[in-house]
Structure 1
Amino acid sequence: MVKLQKDIDAIRINTRTEELAACSSTSVGVTRLPFTVESLKAERLVEDWMKAAGMTVRKDALSNIIGRYEGKDPTAPVLMIGSHLDSVIEAGKYDGILGVITGIEVVQTLKDNGIILNNPIEVVGFCDEEGVRFHSTFLGSKAIAGTFTAEDLERADGQGITIAEALKGIGIADPYAYREASRTPEELFAYLELHIEQGPVLEKENEPVGIVSGIAGATRFYFEIIGKPGHAGTVPVAIRQDALLGASDLISYIEHIAIKNQPLVATVGKLNVSPGASNVIPGLVTGTLDIRDLNVDRKKKAIDAILTESERVAKARGLQIRFEQVMEADPVYCDDRLVAVIEESISELDGSVISLVSGAGHDAMAMADVTNVAMIFVRCKDGLSHHPDEYVTVEDMGAGARVLYSTVIKMATKQY
């Protein structure tokens, strides 16, 4: 890569991360839900930074904030760089935010070096990726991808406020103009997203940056195990219909299947035991099962094995076990040509090429419905995310930004 007169400023990335972290409704970690006072404050900061980087800024009908750095050919397809501005409850500082700030830094570096590419670049701060407030993910990126619906506007938060009402509350006059936010495949060159890894692989490999080969598909179930409650002191263990013991058998098997089918992951993340008394045999257990894998066939076989095992456990313990599928998200594969460009950029910057599958969802999943996507992961300490202790070093921020910058330059000179 040609040496720049004005290089990426990793200190600036870090300083801006700290400034956005202050846009929080909690003092512990970062809590920034969409369409709130905190999100508006964050958007104003992002808008100022985008303008300083030479971008024109607008906000669409879903409150996505979009900065445009014009190209030599304003009619050419747009190279979009983005991530999200919202957070989970008491989150860390970097999830989503790092991708937005780094996108702005890349454009700032282009401007500072007097570089104008043929294609326009747009940096997007998506309004809601996490889905915490309205229990539906990728709201902002779905609007741009054209998969957001009028029914989505009627989703309500815990206080009964719908998305449409929340948008009006922050000054969006007509939330039903969301269709105007959508882009066509012809309008977009590609979508790039830089994000913290949220896992331990890069730290284990001692590499600051990695490439995402794809984002795992997810299947989620609600299950209930029905047994027979009874007195803990009078019913012999051998003849009990203990729903919790049935759950224990099943959860152990789920772990076995996940280990056998790595890198597939499976999680029983929620469990409720009823009646929930120390002296009563559990008569009912309800819970959730989340299974993720990039390989659709392997995931299906694992699910089938778990459902078959549930029948065996039910029969052996005299229980009823029911599974209800509540969510299905297809996997997304990153574009091979874009991945090759990122690999070249990492190699030229003296890094080792580490390919990763993302088990977490990202806006790139929604954007894949409208254009080719690729992702860059940046190392985070202990692989920790969605936690106040989430941490990325300034050096790693700079490494990720240089890879993204190099990738953007290379894409501008290659034909796709």
Structure 2
Amino acid sequence: MTSLVDRTSATTVLARCDALAVCSEHPEHLDRAHLTPALAAAHRLVEPWMAEAGLRTWRDQAGNLCGRVEGREPGLPALLLGSHLDTVPDAGRYDGMLGVLLAVAVVERLRDRWADLPFALEVVGFTDEEGSRFGSALMGSRALAGTWDDAWWDRRDADGVTLADAARAFGLDPALVGTAARRREDLVGYLEAHIEQGPHLEEADRSLGVVTTIAGAERFVVEVVGEARHAGGTPYARRRDALVGAAEVITFVERTARASGAIATVGRIDVEPGAVNVVPGRAVMTLDLRAATDAERDAMRATLLAGIEELCTARGLTVHVTSTHAAPATPCAPWLRDAVRAGVVATGDALPLELWSRAGHDGMAVAAVTDVAMLFVRCHDGISHHPDEAVREVDVAAALDAFTAAVLAVADDVAGRA
């Protein structure tokens, strides 16, 4: 597929990713959280690019940046294309942003075809996919899907600023957040291109992959309680060392998950009292659990929690487990997945690689209001959420071709059904 104008080339998409990386709260590294001046700066860059592509732009009352072009007649339901514009702290420059900029380029590539499309095209740059500022991910896409929770307005960031006050400072009206919600009948579906955030495409020497499902995830806080006593005066037989028990829990979690298809990670541990000469009396850790299906995730949860209880009891420790987050697995809609597969085939890959996404994405939230599907793009060494995040121009060019072809495949499907 030949680029129509330079703005639809992989070179331009990557140059725009570089320009966006300057929009940061910190000059030394990329950090662009929800409702920050850095996010506003990113909007000021992306909005003119959307307008150049022919999109009518607006920012909804959740803070998402949106654009729309009409199809063969005004007011048709829209096919959403996009990803997110916020980042984690010390981020790479492609997670989320690449998908938004590919979507803009696809719309412009199809400029001569808009009048033939049986739907409108919309691009959305979601905010707060990462959840790094207020601790609740996907707030932008949840607002669009109509699943906003007003309890979030009272959440505070590390500086004590409430979400409601941050929204007002960003130029939003919390009372109008409901206007960001879309109706199911106004949408055709949602397609997202995203770096893989894993090594499977690179290991298979493939540029692109078709996502089958987005992981079902659950997060826990695991509190192990023993007894803090003098490190010198307490014999081993009398110790109830919470940290040693937690260490056994960590190795058990890894060993058990590695033998399955699930993924479990202890990402943080805090120990009390934390003195060099005191047997630890309390250890609190996080546990992140993911699997391709809810059934696999739930089975692994039962296995892990039973094993953790048994390990702690054997050491005279008590354990308390609290679930802090749960998200169901999100299967990609077969008909949209077929369109993405057709897009990859159009690039010359006759047997596209199918992968389940171990990471979460905005599609998990958008699935509450419309069908979703995803295209994965090879990422060097699978590194993500890190400044070393890198993609190759040849893979971005393939993604641009595949994403464009996928939109046309969706158009053929919708027109055929009509």
Give me the TM-score of the superposition, normalised by structure 1: 0.95
Q: Which residue pairs with 1:22 in the alignment?
A: 22
Q: How far did residue 3 of structure 1 move? A: 5.7
Q: How far did residue 4 of structure 1 move? A: 6.3
Q: 2:300 aligns with which of 299, 302, 317?
A: 302
- The code of the aligned residue for 1:348 comes to A
Indicate how the Cα distance of structure 1 residues 131 and 5 shifts in structure 2: closer, same or farther if over 3 A, else same.
Answer: closer
Distance 1:405 1:69 in 2: 15
Q: How far did residue 349 of structure 1 move? A: 1.3
Query: CA offsets per residue over residues 222-242 of structure 1, 9 Å max, x none?
Result: 111111222323333244211
Distance 1:323 1:113 in 2: 54
**Most deviating of 367-376 and 151-160:** 151-160
Q: Which residue pairs with 1:209 in the alignment?
A: 208
**Most deviating of 163-172 and 396-405:** 163-172
- The code of the aligned residue for 1:22 comes to V
Q: 1:324 aligns with which of 316, 322, 325?
A: 322
Q: Which residue pairs with 2:154 in the alignment?
A: 154
Q: Deviation above 3 Å: which 4+ runs of structure 1?
A: 2-8, 112-116
Superposed counterparts of 1:77-88, under 5 Å: 77-88=77-88
- The code of the aligned residue for 2:343 comes to S
Superposed counterparts of 1:9-408, under 5 Å: 9-111=9-111, 116-172=116-172, 174-262=173-261, 264-351=262-349, 352-408=351-407
Distance 1:58 1:386 in 2: 28
Distance 1:313 1:393 in 2: 46
Query: CA offsets per residue over residues 364-402 of structure 1, 9 Å max, x none?
Result: 000000000001111111111111111111111111111
Query: CA offsets per residue over residues 46-105 of structure 1, 9 Å max, x none?
Result: 110011011111111112111111111223210000111111111010111001000000
- The code of the aligned residue for 1:14 comes to L
**Most deviating of 294-303 and 46-55:** 294-303
Q: 1:414 is paired with a residue of what secondary structure?
A: helix
Contact persistence 1:110–1:116 (CA under 8 A): no
Contact persistence 1:217–1:329 (CA under 8 A): yes
Indicate how the Cα distance of structure 1 residues 311 and 90 shifts in structure 2: closer, same or farther if over 3 A, else same.
Answer: closer
Indicate how the Cα distance of structure 1 residues 301 and 113 shifts in structure 2: closer, same or farther if over 3 A, else same.
Answer: closer
Contact persistence 1:197–1:380 (CA under 8 A): yes
- The code of the aligned residue for 2:359 comes to A
- The code of the aligned residue for 1:402 comes to D
Contact persistence 1:6–1:112 (CA under 8 A): no
Query: CA offsets per residue over residues 333-372 of structure 1, 9 Å max, x none?
Result: 1001111121122122112411111121111000000000
**Most deviating of 106-115 and 7-16:** 106-115
Give the total of aligned pairs: 413
Give me the TM-score of the superposition, normalised by structure 2: 0.95
**Most deviating of 274-283 and 107-116:** 107-116
Q: How far did residue 6 of structure 1 move? A: 5.1
Distance 1:203 1:29 in 2: 26
Q: 2:266 is paired with a residue of what secondary structure?
A: strand
Q: How far did residue 289 of structure 1 move? A: 0.9
Structure 2 stretches of 5 or more lacking a match?
A: none
Q: How far did residue 164 of structure 1 move? A: 2.1
Indicate how the Cα distance of structure 1 residues 319 and 135 shifts in structure 2: closer, same or farther if over 3 A, else same.
Answer: same
